[in-house]
Structure 1
Amino acid sequence: MNHVVNSASPNGAQLRLVRSPELEPVTAGLSASASASGWGVLLVATVGLVVLAAQRDFGAHGFWVPLVALALALLCLAPAACRLVGIGRDRPVPFLVLFGVIYAVYFALPALVADRVGMMSVDLGVPQLERALVASLVGLVCLFAGYGIFGQLDRGSAPARLAWDPARALTVAWILLPIGALCHVSTLLFELPGGLRQPVHLFAKGTAVALGILFVLARRGHLPRSTARLVFFVLAPLLMFSEVADAAIGQALRTGIFFLMLVWGTGGRVPMWLMLLGAFGAATLRGGAEEFRSLEQHHPHLVADAPLERAGQFVALSASRLVEDSGDSAASTLLDRVSQVALLGQVMELSPQAVPYWGGSTLATLPATVIPRALWPNKPTKELGQAFGHRYGLLAADDFKTSVNLPQLIELFANFGLAGIVLGMAFLGAVYRWLSDRLNRPGAGDGGVVLSALLFSTLAQIESDLSLVFGASLQIGILFFGVLWLARPRRSGGSVALARIDGTGRESATGAVLPSR
């Protein structure tokens, strides 16, 4: 026998959810199974980190280095442990868990997997590495504190109401998808004029927005199975594949994280083997990235013009390098790429005695990121990657082509010293909590699922500067709210049944009777 639960919808009509008691033991079993597997993964990760720390040898003066790195790594796993015991489990997208893992990779793992920590031309000494690890630990503590304290101050906040009309959302998605794809391909094929660059790049993000809408509609059962399979197994992988056309592995990873968040946001689970496979693929591609970029720069006639063909060349080159050297180049290149703790140590060593603090100048470009160049022809060109690289001796004096990312934690120290890390990371934690309270909650609707996945996958770019990340978040937020306005629910009385397609054309047992729009 089914139970019917009534609740009020945003427009005052009644929302009737049909719940089957026969499914409750199954749901409880799945939840228990997920919790058990989660504890197992966490235990294996903890033991692995302890073993890695025990194997490190930084000399007589480096006794504390692996211990501080281990403490930082274990603190990064704290959000996962909290979620397993029920704290924060009401958030569909486990952003803080994912943030902790990314932070561990960038700032803790390099000192746990190698006795030499460096990046590019930087080779840290033991005292500099220890200072950088302590600063990273302080920064993470402050971020978690900002997240928790703001949550206490913001108690009782209601989630945003970002519902859409499924039929309208579907129409908007199918219209936006080819527009976004055309703009995305244009950014890969052409050097766009200054006035067109920002609008085209903005609409190129419409590809991810459209696929996000289609992804959620398919997960909710509003698309036929054939269309859902097209979205899951063709269009989404095709977008990620096209993003490696210029060895843009980071962007492809962020898009993969975006789709993972959509699965989590709609109540799904992602197999651990699939996430490990994705990590292995990223490491493999990283091994061939430098060689492919060198090929593009010095022998462009050997590189295909078509984005998908170029991506195929890159993947083939990376796979061949993996086979030839048994993954040594991929491992060393990946370690060099993610060792942001080395960059932090270099900046801390030179500041402020040799290099003065920036004093907030790197943050001055944030307001300009949302203004199109067409409306501001003399808008300053942002070359922070070059300025950062030369300022701290990471680039040769005659290197005007290489751009070095300025990670957010390092940017805060480079501008304001340790006070910047303490206050800035606490502020970031508060921002993450504010967004999570309003978007990453069940009452936010399917629009909230897509928007939180878009924003959180962008905010996960902690290896990039604040203006770039928050500017991109503002732009994609503006684009999505325009889409959401077009897909807004119809306002009319009464109620109408909204069936979920179960493959036979009949309403599924877990369908809902929703207010008419």
Structure 2
Amino acid sequence: MPLASPTADRSAAPAARRDAVWILAAVLACGWFVARYGQAFMGPETLLCLVVGAVILAPVAVRLATGTFDLFEPMVLVTGLYLLYFVVGPLVRFSMDDMVFVGYDFEQVYAGALLAVLVVAGSLWAGYAVPVGPRPGSMVAHRRSWDPEAARRLGWGLVVLALVFMLLWARIAGRSLGTFFLPGLFGSMGGGGDGPDIPYLFLAIEWFTPALLVLVIAGALRGPWSRAAAILLITIVYVSIGFRYRVVILWIAFSMLLYLKAGKRPRLAVLVPAVMGAFLFVGWLAWARLFFRSGGANGGLSFQLGDVVQGALSDTRVFETFGAVMQVVPQHVDYVGFDPLGYLIILPIPRFLWPEKPLPMWLYDIGGSIGTAESVNLGAAVPHFGEYYFMFGWPGMALGSFLFGMGVRWLWRWYQADPGDSWRQLLLAINTGFLFQAVIRGYLAQVFQEWCFIVLPAIVIMRMCTRPAPPAPGNAHA
């Protein structure tokens, strides 16, 4: 999609500001009415939800008003996630009077958590406004040349490695291959599962995602049937082992890449049903993965719309747990400072080599901040800014969100510098898909680890089969 000229941007700016003012006024008026007459239904919190939603949507509104909107700008996905997790999720629970989670009533935490999201959203978009990264069009004259045949060999090699490590993990852990093919439905868990679990062998399964995208960009999977078969097989493996959000990352990246290669964007008639279908599938999988993980011994595969919607929204509860964390940090639990950054260094060291390796204790404080028996095993159940708050409180949350916004903007400008380059298309698609994981989980060490397995292999392959190409004669900088 072509970018609007600076002149067009300036001429459209007053209209964008007027639209933004009217939207905000309507939101405030609606929120005031609810807050005034709906005290029994979380009225003030509903007002805050609407204000937060307006702030979150502001960049998209400006893009639409100025004619510079691009569906594949990473900001759009971040906006959608923020709306779903921190606006839609709470509003649904207000409407259903469903504010008890893991044995705790969160009614009193919503106001503080929403105010925090207001600060986070403002800081995020302030960071996103900083023009970091290459200028659009500045790298076209320095496009790197690449060898598609080498990319195909490396892509298939990564597939083989993922298969070998998958089989090796199953062998060591005492599992059968049925573990990866819908156990309880088509396969069997097999074995007692009493062998040692080696996480890095297991995580190598995630290499299927970058391998598929490399093969697509290199032309190894040209026909629609071969692509459909490949993504179906990978989805089956991820569903079988409960990799719910790896499926979402895979689908987002794969779909984006196909459209980027074609130079198109999906029409609303395609996009809306696809998003709703994915939403319902993730909700169904939230219930069904217990069936697959237990080999059919527990859970079920029935599709009840109410249960599916609840399952799809279940992960948005990280908003409530974040509010609980704010209530105990630093009043009862100290800030953890730079510990999450330090844990990046020691995470790759296997525990069998370092039995006394420290644990990320701040993760246990998430469940501890709620204080119920059901919350003990919550794990990293806070959004990304929840960890920033753990580190340095409100200043850390604001600064961390600002830097996160800068990073997302850098990715977009880097792609825009040469949007016709195949490798930039691939890396934009896979990094945008990975933003899903980066936003919803406040555990930097785990997020970085997943990035190394999902995104880094694509970068390595790119560097191995590309080289700088001399500028084409007469090719000017944009």
Range into which the TM-score falls when normalised by the shorter chain: 0.7 to 0.9
Shift of 1:419: 1.0
| Higher mean C-alpha displacement, 137-146 vs 408-417 | 408-417
2:277 aligned partner:
277
Q: 1:441 to 1:68 in 2, by over 3 A?
A: farther
User: In 1, are the aligned partners of 2:123 and 2:402 still within 8 Å (CA)?
Assistant: yes
* Separation (CA, whole Å) in 1 of partners of 2:414 and 2:143: 9
Q: 1:87 to 1:189 in 2, by over 3 A?
A: farther
Letter in 2 for 1:470: F
2:215 aligned partner:
214
Q: Is 1:265 the counterpart of 2:266 in the alignment?
A: no
| Higher mean C-alpha displacement, 343-352 vs 136-145 | 343-352
Letter in 2 for 1:269: R
| Higher mean C-alpha displacement, 353-362 vs 73-82 | 73-82
2:395 aligned partner:
419
For residue 339 of structure 1, give the secondary structure of its aligned residue in structure 2.
helix
- Equivalent residue for 1:129, pick from 110, 113, 116: 110
- Equivalent residue for 2:39, pick from 59, 63, 70: 59
2:160 aligned partner:
178
Shift of 1:244: 1.3
Q: 1:375 to 1:155 in 2, by over 3 A?
A: farther
Letter in 2 for 1:411: E
2:368 aligned partner:
391
Shift of 1:286: 2.1
User: In 2, are the aligned partners of 1:177 and 1:207 still within 8 Å (CA)?
Assistant: yes
1:144 aligned partner:
125
* Separation (CA, whole Å) in 1 of partners of 2:471 and 2:374: 69
Compute the TM-score of the two structures, normalised by the length of structure 2.
0.74
For residue 205 of structure 1, give the secondary structure of its aligned residue in structure 2.
helix
- Equivalent residue for 1:111, pick from 63, 66, 90: 90
Compute the TM-score of the two structures, normalised by the length of structure 1.
0.69
Deviations 1:387-435 (CA, angstroms, capped at 9, x unpaired): 1344313552995x65343321111112211111111100111122223
Q: Is 1:380 the counterpart of 2:361 in the alignment?
A: no
Q: 1:61 to 1:360 in 2, by over 3 A?
A: farther
Shift of 1:171: 2.4
For residue 114 of structure 1, give the secondary structure of its aligned residue in structure 2.
helix
Deviations 1:283-317 (CA, angstroms, capped at 9, x unpaired): 2222444x538x73xxx6838xxxxxxxxxx7xx2
Aligned length, in residue pairs: 418
Q: 1:481 to 1:138 in 2, by over 3 A?
A: same
User: In 2, are the aligned partners of 1:150 and 1:433 still within 8 Å (CA)?
Assistant: yes
Shift of 1:88: 5.3
User: In 2, are the aligned partners of 1:438 and 1:444 still within 8 Å (CA)?
Assistant: no
User: In 2, are the aligned partners of 1:118 and 1:124 still within 8 Å (CA)?
Assistant: yes
Q: Is 1:340 the counterpart of 2:335 in the alignment?
A: no
For residue 143 of structure 1, give the secondary structure of its aligned residue in structure 2.
helix
Letter in 2 for 1:276: M
* Separation (CA, whole Å) in 1 of partners of 2:236 and 2:317: 26
Q: Is 1:74 the counterpart of 2:69 in the alignment?
A: no
Letter in 2 for 1:165: D
2:414 aligned partner:
438
For residue 370 of structure 2, give the secondary structure of its aligned residue in structure 1.
coil
- Equivalent residue for 1:246, pick from 236, 241, 249: 241
* Separation (CA, whole Å) in 1 of partners of 2:387 and 2:404: 13
Deviations 1:76-123 (CA, angstroms, capped at 9, x unpaired): 33343344345655x783211011101111111122223243542332
Q: 1:389 to 1:247 in 2, by over 3 A?
A: same
* Separation (CA, whole Å) in 1 of partners of 2:38 and 2:225: 51
* Separation (CA, whole Å) in 1 of partners of 2:458 and 2:79: 27
For residue 354 of structure 1, give the secondary structure of its aligned residue in structure 2.
coil
* Separation (CA, whole Å) in 2 of partners of 1:385 and 1:359: 10
- Equivalent residue for 1:98, pick from 72, 77, 80: 77
Segments of 5+ residues of structure 2 without an aligned counterpart are: 3-22, 175-194, 474-478
Deviations 1:157-215 (CA, angstroms, capped at 9, x unpaired): 945855522222122222222322343465577549989533x3564333111200222
User: In 2, are the aligned partners of 1:287 and 1:334 still within 8 Å (CA)?
Assistant: no
* Separation (CA, whole Å) in 1 of partners of 2:68 and 2:165: 38
* Separation (CA, whole Å) in 1 of partners of 2:235 and 2:251: 7
Shift of 1:236: 1.1
- Equivalent residue for 1:356, pick from 321, 328, 334: 334
- Larger helix share, 1 or 2: 2
Q: Where do residues 279-298 of structure 1 align in structure 2 (5 Å cutoff)? A: 279-289=279-289, 292=291, 296=294
1:39 aligned partner:
none
2:465 aligned partner:
487
* Separation (CA, whole Å) in 2 of partners of 1:365 and 1:475: 18
Q: 1:362 to 1:380 in 2, by over 3 A?
A: same
Q: Is 1:456 the counterpart of 2:438 in the alignment?
A: no
Shift of 1:372: 5.5
Q: Give me the identity figure in percent.
A: 19
Letter in 1 for 2:257: L
User: In 2, are the aligned partners of 1:459 and 1:469 still within 8 Å (CA)?
Assistant: no
User: In 2, are the aligned partners of 1:359 and 1:415 still within 8 Å (CA)?
Assistant: yes
* Separation (CA, whole Å) in 1 of partners of 2:197 and 2:311: 36
| Higher mean C-alpha displacement, 243-252 vs 431-440 | 431-440
Deviations 1:411-461 (CA, angstroms, capped at 9, x unpaired): 111221111111110011112222322245435721122222222322321
* Separation (CA, whole Å) in 1 of partners of 2:63 and 2:259: 13
* Separation (CA, whole Å) in 2 of partners of 1:185 and 1:82: 50
Q: 1:194 to 1:425 in 2, by over 3 A?
A: farther
Q: 1:384 to 1:493 in 2, by over 3 A?
A: same
User: In 1, are the aligned partners of 2:158 and 2:211 still within 8 Å (CA)?
Assistant: yes
Deviations 1:257-278 (CA, angstroms, capped at 9, x unpaired): 2213313432233322122211
For residue 364 of structure 1, give the secondary structure of its aligned residue in structure 2.
helix
Segments of 5+ residues of structure 1 without an aligned counterpart are: 1-23, 25-44, 304-313, 496-517
Shift of 1:70: 1.4
Shift of 1:55: 7.6
User: In 1, are the aligned partners of 2:84 and 2:316 still within 8 Å (CA)?
Assistant: yes
RMSD: 4.1
* Separation (CA, whole Å) in 1 of partners of 2:218 and 2:134: 31
Q: 1:166 to 1:420 in 2, by over 3 A?
A: same
For residue 466 of structure 2, give the secondary structure of its aligned residue in structure 1.
coil
Letter in 1 for 2:217: V
* Separation (CA, whole Å) in 2 of partners of 1:353 and 1:122: 19
User: In 2, are the aligned partners of 1:176 and 1:210 still within 8 Å (CA)?
Assistant: yes
